[in-house]
Amino acid sequence: MTLHRYRNWFVGLSARERVLVTGLGALLLLMLLWFALVMPLTDFRSAARAAHATALEDRAEADALLTRLGGSGAGAIAAEDVAAVFAEAGLQPRVEPADGGLSVRLEAVRADVLFNLLGRIEGEGGMIVAGADITANDDATLSARLQLRGGGA
């Protein structure tokens, strides 16, 4: 059917039928706009808010851990302090003295948490990550073997 045939069909309707068909068309247009535009945008916005909240929580954890690490003194790293810092982040490290520093082993840690923590420890915590052996696990986490040294070492 062409546009001309639809126009003739619409004109052939009674006034009451035209009002009902026009209302139904408007309702259909509103539903289409709602499901095609409004709902995806609100879903995107709530997902962005959740991601932002998670990032703020990770940042707060890292700040608290760095504050605790900063109290151990420059150049000397206490194994108990490092173990406690990683444990406060929800990680279960094995910390052992090794070659003038510490060896830290983590079995399952999210990548964003690990790299955020390591970057901030190295940048602000007075420690150096002298070596890192990081491998991916099957469950989207990482296993890491880290060598930490004091900032003066």
Q: What is the pLDDT of residues 111-122, one digit of tens each?
A: 888 888 787 777
Residues with Cβ < 8 Å from 77, sequence gap 6 or more?
101, 102, 127, 148, 149, 150
| Amino acid 73: pLDDT | 44
Which residue has better confidence, 114 or 16?
16
Q: What is the pLDDT of residues 43-54, one digit of tens each?
A: 999 999 999 999
Average pLDDT for 98-117: 85
Q: Residue for token digits 């546009």?
A: 3
Domain boundaries, the chain: 2-67, 75-150
**For the domain bounded by 75-150, which CATH number is listed?**
3.30.1360.100
Q: Closest Cα to residue 91, out of 77, 101, 104? A: 104
